[in-house]
């Protein structure tokens, strides 16, 4: 980048690192509050039916058990659905915990046992007898192939896919054609940290709620609306998340249950879910996709059809943008896209890292590999031939797009030119070796957010915004932006987040936090800078008199003229001369709607993978992954790289291991624990390299950032699947690639 | 988890007596399995008898030239013990293929034998399981049974024994020393675990209140030609889909003695002596190994999700015997990593 910066774009360490590794960083279940009672959730053992009885009496007889909450005694709450809708709720009727006797999904919370100690509550919950009247359930999307329907627009961010040209005609006339179905099962977010809420009930009846969430304001609004509280009565705090990956976008039922119990019992309550219950709070839906493609004699895409069917719940219409990316990533004039959902007796799915795109890019990019082979073309060359110079789906130019540079850089680093085209042409002893390529595209989004910057007389700056931190680096990059804007050392800047007493920020998701909160932080610091300039100009003999904000710069704790840097004042002197103890400025940043209308704003990546497959035993090891990302400007090389490293691990997991397996006879997930829901261990992870091709993008947002949280995952599973094909000649179209699929 | 009392036994006799005199007692050593079972309400003992103060954590040579592994010596201490590494490398390799370093640091040798199946249905009290609740049915039959048995199963239960260590102990023909209310006795390893039959709630042949005090390894350790091959869905911290302990004694390329034990395929470590006998006097070649593999799996029955284990089992036997022939040192970092 040509911009000369001191902190932005460099690689400072995580500012919250010491707090995390020394254990002083507090998570939602760790806040100590006085007179705390403990709630343990009792989960439904059936997938559908009615609760006949709750055997509360036996449990209530135990000394120390305070209450058993169920539909039989749940206090009245808001009546209309709109009160229960959070910012991220899809269309439909949100789930209301303990609302009535109806069981809508397996592991639905049916009771909350509250006791003086956690151990007692757990014991009491374990012996609570709940009787059900079972009804017939349906949990298998593969039995619903013919019952899909196009979803409505109820979910924010859902874009009904747009078709163009005449795909059927073009397919008929194509030189080469493929048509295949691609499937992945249900996956769960499985953050390390369990969902938990510690509700501090104050003597005046007000609540301070420490909740595991990706959006404190979203939770506050939910609690206020559901329980009829004023926002002043419910402060929500979340300082750290031990991972969330989208599972914390919506309020989870531990929040409702702990607040309800605290209000009823008029004392502080904590509810922590079990690992098993973590499989009842939303998931990446089991998804079926069909892709058809055809090529022209010159190897360009003649037609592309992408159809998707995924599950939703009976009560909400969850939707994902699964197929849209297929109309955007490659140049193709004849595209038919269709997205359908079918309702099942499961809990509502929930956005999980790169929702829609992780699923869609898997199918699209494996299909592209199949198409390349059908047309006799190198899979990377095939992609370059079909490079999209503009976003045909919106008919707009890209605000910036250096994917072609990613292709070339990646190919060179990976030595792609040495790859023989034919499958099964590389081996080492028993091991077949394969190389695969795939990539993806993700939205560069920005939302509205506010921030407040305060500088004290001693020259320390604090910036606040109620953003979330999932371990991605938000604390660090915001500190960098603030320090950069006001020319202060990093040590003199503190960024605080995750508290509804702070200026509002949206939920942390969609990879928009860097752009959204970053711009708000920059703007608040600029507003504070303007105040500081005015104060500096009031100083006797100020060298800055008459200067505008554009004429000055903040460097090394000084305010100085750009054209004459020796003409400067020390910030601390400005503050002390002003006599103010502190000076603050708020600001709200909103996206530039004009630029959004004029440009398609997206990040892109390409992934190269090498696998080694045991020829006899089918075991797959991913020996090498290179992920090249073009995501605008990179604010922190270290945290951005870490994000992409984590994404690659996730992609390896998606390709080889992850699946929540239901037993449809019980309508229940059977591997609902960390021992049997597999994610990689260190020994599964080998060489991962991450490269950034930085883009100068004056349109996307003032910081020029596109976000990196989702992008890194795209294409990883497909690149591995394609590499497995290259190694073995076997095309796997259903994830995960367990060893038995290669026997 | 239900309320329970805990005592820490000072002597073996005291532990046995405490067990005899208590209602719903259970022994606890490393606690790496029973705590999970209690949290899931699968086991509900009301009295735990801690074993870690017992003087049973030593590893010592026996007068017969073997090695005695104390019941409360940890899996980690056993796997890394110089005598075990040098004389019984198969056992070391098998232990290190199991669980994770954290678990192996806690888990004990006696406890390893006593761990219960990882059948999904056994652990989920919302589903039927004859092992957990006799007569309730088997959820795994007709359900999700990727980690379930293909050999020796019954209509009541298709669970597998999850241990890696026990597969090596079966191949090495260890003995299990136990002390109980009726005195002490020695159980041959092949007689320790049992097939489910009509009483799947019983994992082994211990009488109530009997306590494992030691495992005894015979003199012969097969330290030259051995292999523990474990195939699983990730490289560490996953139970075996199929594992094979193979040991050979070779005279040139002719097999003089051989043993095979399979894990992940049955309710107990699976030995097939008739099949093993096919190896004796034969050349250590792939075609010999394939014949034996066929023989071992000839009566195998798939349950649906685990059908692949039959072919995987055959291939794993061949590979393990090839590795044992070659000398057994981990030749494949991906398959034999010991993290």
pLDDT of residue A2: 40
- When CB atoms are compared, the residue of B1, B231, B239 closest to A123 is B1
For A447-590, which CATH class? alpha beta
Interatomic CA distance for residues A350 and A357, integer angstroms: 14
For chain A, residues classed under CATH 3.30.365.10 are 167-187+283-445+597-742, 447-590
Instruction: Report the gap between the CA of B42 and the closest CA in chain A (Å).
Output: 11
- Contact assignment for B144 to A661 by CB distance below 8 Å: yes
CATH 3.40.50.300 for domain A167-187+283-445+597-742, yes or no, is no
Residue owning tokens 């604390």: A475
Identify the H or E element spanning A437: strand A431-443
When pLDDT is averaged across residues A612-635 and rounded to a whole number, the result is 97
Whether residue B92 lies within 8 A of chain A, CB to CB, comes out as no
From the number of C-beta atoms within 10 Å of its C-beta (0-12, 13-18, 19+), residue A183 rates as middle
Interatomic CA distance for residues A121 and A124, integer angstroms: 5
Alpha-carbon distances of A590 from A448, A510, A524, B27, B48, rounded to whole Å: 5, 16, 12, 63, 62
Whether residue B252 lies within 8 A of chain A, CB to CB, comes out as no
Interatomic CA distance for residues A57 and A45, integer angstroms: 20
From the number of C-beta atoms within 10 Å of its C-beta (0-12, 13-18, 19+), residue A19 rates as middle
Strand stretches in B40-111, DSSP E: 47-50, 59-61, 67-70
**CA distance between the termini of chain B:** 31
- Contact assignment for A617 to B127 by CB distance below 8 Å: no
φ and ψ of B45, to 5 deg? -65, 145
Is residue B107 in a domain?
A: no
Helices (H), B242-307: 273-277, 286-297
Interatomic CA distance for residues A148 and A236, integer angstroms: 39
Judge whether B165 and B94 are in contact, CB under 8 Å: yes
Enter the DSSP assignment of A194: P
Local confidence band at B339 (pLDDT 50, 70, 90 cut-offs): very low
Instruction: Report the gap between the CA of A137 and the closest CA in chain B (Å).
Output: 16
Chain B residue with minimum CA distance to A122: B1
The three-class DSSP label of residue A610 is: strand
Interatomic CA distance for residues B114 and A689, integer angstroms: 44
pLDDT of residue A396: 98
Mean pLDDT of chain A: 97
More confident residue, B328 or A506: A506
Judge whether A373 and A110 are in contact, CB under 8 Å: no
For A303, other C-beta atoms within 10 Å of its C-beta total 25
Whether residue B334 lies within 8 A of chain A, CB to CB, comes out as yes
Determine whether A695 is an active site residue.
no
Assigned token pair, A28: 């939602």
- Strand-pair partners of A387: A330
pLDDT of residue A156: 86
pLDDT of residue A5: 86
pLDDT of residue B267: 98
Nearest to B196 by CA among B116, B314, B261: B116
Is residue B308 in a domain?
A: yes
Residues 6+ away with beta carbon under 8 Å from A29: A194, A196, A198, A212, A270, A272
Contacts of B316 in chain A (CB under 8 A): 617
- Contact assignment for A126 to B1 by CB distance below 8 Å: yes
pLDDT of residue A154: 87
For chain A, the 3-state helix, strand and coil shares in percent, each to the nearest 5, are: 30, 25, 45
- Strand-pair partners of B183: B180
Is residue B24 in a domain?
A: yes
Whether residue B273 lies within 8 A of chain A, CB to CB, comes out as no
- pLDDT one-digit tens code per residue, A386-442: 999 999 999 999 999 999 999 999 999 999 999 999 999 999 999 999 999 999 999
- Contact assignment for A681 to B235 by CB distance below 8 Å: yes
CATH code at position B37: 3.30.43.10
Instruction: Report the gap between the CA of B26 and the closest CA in chain A (Å).
Output: 18
- Contact assignment for A666 to B126 by CB distance below 8 Å: yes
- pLDDT one-digit tens code per residue, B232-249: 999 999 999 999 999 999
Catalytic residue among A16, A254, A658, A710: A710
Question: Is pLDDT above 80 for A4?
Answer: no
Whether residue B4 lies within 8 A of chain A, CB to CB, comes out as no
- pLDDT one-digit tens code per residue, A72-101: 999 998 999 999 999 999 999 999 999 999
- pLDDT one-digit tens code per residue, A247-267: 999 999 999 999 999 999 999
Contacts of B139 in chain A (CB under 8 A): 663, 666
For chain A, residues classed under CATH 3.90.1170.50 are 31-136+195-244+248-280
Query: Does a cis peptide bond (omega within 30 degrees of 0) precede residue A736?
Result: yes
**Topology classification of domain A31-136+195-244+248-280:** Aldehyde Oxidoreductase; domain 3 (3.90.1170)
- Tell me which residue range forms the domain holding B230: 225-326
pLDDT of residue A1: 35
- Contact assignment for B312 to A740 by CB distance below 8 Å: yes
Nearest to A235 by CA among A503, A26, A501: A501
- When CB atoms are compared, the residue of A670, A680, A684 closest to B120 is A670
The upper half-sphere exposure of residue A260, i.e. CA atoms within 13 Å in the direction of its Cβ, equals 29
Instruction: Report the gap between the CA of B175 and the closest CA in chain A (Å).
Output: 30
CATH code at position B251: 3.30.390.50
- pLDDT one-digit tens code per residue, A31-64: 999 999 999 999 999 999 999 999 999 999 999 9
Residue owning tokens 């009823």: A264
Contacts of B238 in chain A (CB under 8 A): 675, 678
Instruction: Report the gap between the CA of A45 and the closest CA in chain B (Å).
Output: 5
- When CB atoms are compared, the residue of B121, B308, B332 closest to A743 is B308
Judge whether A96 and A104 are in contact, CB under 8 Å: no
Domain count, chain B: 2
- pLDDT one-digit tens code per residue, A351-380: 999 999 999 999 999 999 999 999 999 999
- Contact assignment for B334 to A123 by CB distance below 8 Å: no
Question: Is pLDDT above 70 for A140?
Answer: yes
For chain B, the 3-state helix, strand and coil shares in percent, each to the nearest 5, are: 30, 20, 50
Probe site for chain A from B332, B335, B337, B339 (most A CB atoms < 10 A): B332
Identify the H or E element spanning A513: helix A513-538
Judge whether B46 and B24 are in contact, CB under 8 Å: yes
pLDDT of residue B331: 52
When pLDDT is averaged across residues B102-128 and rounded to a whole number, the result is 98
Enter the DSSP assignment of A676: T
Question: Is pLDDT above 80 for A551?
Answer: yes
Whether residue B124 lies within 8 A of chain A, CB to CB, comes out as yes
Contacts of B120 in chain A (CB under 8 A): 670-671, 676
Whether residue B218 lies within 8 A of chain A, CB to CB, comes out as no
């Amino acid at each position: 980048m040509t911009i000369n910066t001191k902190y932005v774009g460099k690689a400072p360490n995580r500012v919250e690192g010491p707090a995390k590794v020394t254990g002083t960083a507090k998570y939602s279940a760790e806040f100590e509050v006085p007179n705390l009672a403990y709630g343990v959730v009792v989960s439904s053992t059936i997938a559908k039916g009615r609760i006949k009885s709750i055997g509360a009496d036996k449990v209530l007889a135990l000394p120390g058990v305070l209450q058993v909450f169920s539909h039989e005694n749940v206090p009245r709450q808001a009546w209309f659905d709109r009160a229960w809708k959070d910012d991220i709720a899809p269309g439909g009727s949100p789930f209301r915990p303990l609302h009535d006797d109806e069981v809508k999904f397996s592991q639905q919370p049916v009771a909350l046992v509250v006791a003086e100690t956690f151990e007692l509550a757990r014991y009491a919950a374990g012996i609570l007898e709940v009787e059900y009247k079972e009804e017939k359930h349906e949990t298998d999307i593969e039995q619903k192939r013919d019952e899909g329907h196009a979803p409505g627009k109820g979910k924010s961010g859902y874009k009904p896919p747009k078709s163009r040209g005449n795909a059927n005609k073009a397919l008929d006339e194509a030189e080469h054609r493929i048509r295949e179905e691609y499937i992945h099962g249900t996956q769960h977010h499985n953050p390390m940290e369990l969902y938990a809420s510690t509700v501090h009930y104050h003597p005046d009846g007000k609540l301070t709620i420490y909740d595991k969430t990706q959006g404190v304001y979203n939770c506050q609004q939910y609690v206020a609306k559901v329980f009829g509280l004023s926002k002043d009565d419910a402060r929500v705090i979340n300082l750290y998340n031990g991972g969330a990956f989208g599972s914390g976008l919506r309020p989870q039922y531990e929040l409702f249950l702990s607040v309800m119990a605290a209000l009823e019992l008029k004392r502080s309550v904590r509810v922590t879910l079990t690992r098993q219950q973590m499989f009842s709070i939303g998931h990446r839906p089991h998804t079926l996709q069909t892709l058809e493609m055809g090529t022209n004699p010159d190897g360009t895409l003649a037609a592309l059809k992408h159809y998707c069917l995924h599950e939703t719940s009976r009560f909400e219409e969850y939707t994902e943008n699964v197929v849209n990316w297929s109309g955007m990533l490659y140049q193709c004039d004849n595209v038919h896209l269709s997205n359908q959902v079918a309702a099942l007796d499961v809990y509502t799915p929930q956005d999980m890292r790169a929702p829609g795109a992780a699923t869609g890019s898997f199918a699209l990019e494996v299909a592209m590999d199949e198409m390349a082979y059908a047309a006799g073309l190198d899979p990377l060359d095939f992609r370059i031939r079909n490079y999209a110079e503009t976003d045909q789906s919106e008919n707009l130019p890209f605000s910036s797009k250096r994917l072609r540079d990613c292709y070339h850089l990646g190919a060179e680093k990976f030595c792609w030119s040495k790859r023989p085209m034919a499958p099964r042409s590389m081996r080492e002893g028993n091991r077949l070796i394969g190389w695969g390529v795939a990539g993806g595209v993700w939205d560069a989004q920005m939302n509205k957010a506010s921030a407040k910057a305060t500088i004290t007389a001693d020259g320390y700056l604090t910036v606040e915004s109620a953003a979330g931190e999932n371990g991605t680096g938000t604390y660090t990059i915001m500190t960098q932006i603030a320090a950069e804007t006001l020319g202060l050392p990093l040590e003199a800047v503190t960024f605080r987040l995750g508290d509804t007493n702070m200026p509002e920020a949206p939920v942390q998701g969609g990879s928009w936090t860097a752009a959204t909160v970053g711009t708000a932080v920059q703007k608040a610091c600029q507003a504070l800078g303007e105040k500081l300039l005015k104060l500096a100009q009031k100083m006797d003999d100020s060298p800055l008199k008459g200067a505008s904000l554009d004429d000055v710069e903040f460097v090394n704790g000084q305010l100085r003229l750009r054209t004459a840097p020796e003409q400067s004042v020390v910030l601390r002197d400005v503050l002390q001369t002003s006599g103010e103890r502190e000076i603050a400025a708020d600001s709200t940043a909103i996206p530039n709607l004009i630029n959004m209308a004029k440009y398609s704003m997206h990040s892109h990546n390409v992934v190269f993978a090498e696998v080694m497959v045991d020829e006899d035993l089918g075991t797959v090891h991913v020996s090498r992954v290179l992920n090249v990302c073009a995501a605008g400007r990179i604010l922190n090389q270290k945290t951005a790289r870490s994000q992409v490293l984590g994404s690659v691990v996730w992609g390896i997991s998606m390709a080889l291991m992850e699946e929540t397996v239901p037993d449809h006879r019980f309508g229940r997930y059977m591997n609902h624990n960390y021992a049997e829901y597999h994610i990689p261990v260190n020994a599964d992870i080998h060489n991962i390299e991450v490269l950034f091709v930085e883009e100068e993008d004056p349109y996307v947002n003032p910081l020029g950032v596109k976000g990196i949280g989702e992008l890194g995952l795209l294409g990883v599973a497909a690149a591995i699947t394609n590499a497995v094909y290259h190694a073995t000649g076997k095309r796997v179209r259903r994830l995960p690639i367990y060893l038995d699929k290669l026997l | 988890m239900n309320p329970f009392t805990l005592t820490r036994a000072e002597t073996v006799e005291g532990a046995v007596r405490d067990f005899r005199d208590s209602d719903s007692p259970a022994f606890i050593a490393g606690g790496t399995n029973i705590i999970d079972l209690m949290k899931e309400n699968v086991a509900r003992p009301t009295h735990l008898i801690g074993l870690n103060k017992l003087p049973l954590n030593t590893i010592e040579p026996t007068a017969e030239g073997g090695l005695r592994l104390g019941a409360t010596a940890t899996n980690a201490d056993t796997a890394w013990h110089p005598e075990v590494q040098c004389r019984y490398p198969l056992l070391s390799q098998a232990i290190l293929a199991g669980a994770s370093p954290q678990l192996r640091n806690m888990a004990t040798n006696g406890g390893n034998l006593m761990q219960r199946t990882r059948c999904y249905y056994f652990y989920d009290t919302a589903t039927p399981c004859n092992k957990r609740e006799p007569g309730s049915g088997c959820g795994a039959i007709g359900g999700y049974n990727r980690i379930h048995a293909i050999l020796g199963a019954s209509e009541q239960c298709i669970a597998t024994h999850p241990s890696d260590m026990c597969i090596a102990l079966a191949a090495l023909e260890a003995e299990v020393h136990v002390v109980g209310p009726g005195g002490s006795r020695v159980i041959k390893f092949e007689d320790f675990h049992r097939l489910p039959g009509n009483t799947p709630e019983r994992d082994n042949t211990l009488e109530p209140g009997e306590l494992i005090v030691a495992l005894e390894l015979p003199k012969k350790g097969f330290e030259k030609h051995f292999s523990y091959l474990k195939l699983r869905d990730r490289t560490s911290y996953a139970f075996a889909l199929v594992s094979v302990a193979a040991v050979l004694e070779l005279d040139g390329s002719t097999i003089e003695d051989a043993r095979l034990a399979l894990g992940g395929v049955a309710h107990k470590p699976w030995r097939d002596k008739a099949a093993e006998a096919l190896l004796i006097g034969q050349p250590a070649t792939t075609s010999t190994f394939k014949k034996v593999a066929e023989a071992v799996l000839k009566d195998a029955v798939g349950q649906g999700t685990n059908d692949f284990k039959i072919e995987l089992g055959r291939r794993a036997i061949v590979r393990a015997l090839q590795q044992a022939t070659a000398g057994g040192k981990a030749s494949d970092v991906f398959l034999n990593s010991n993290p």
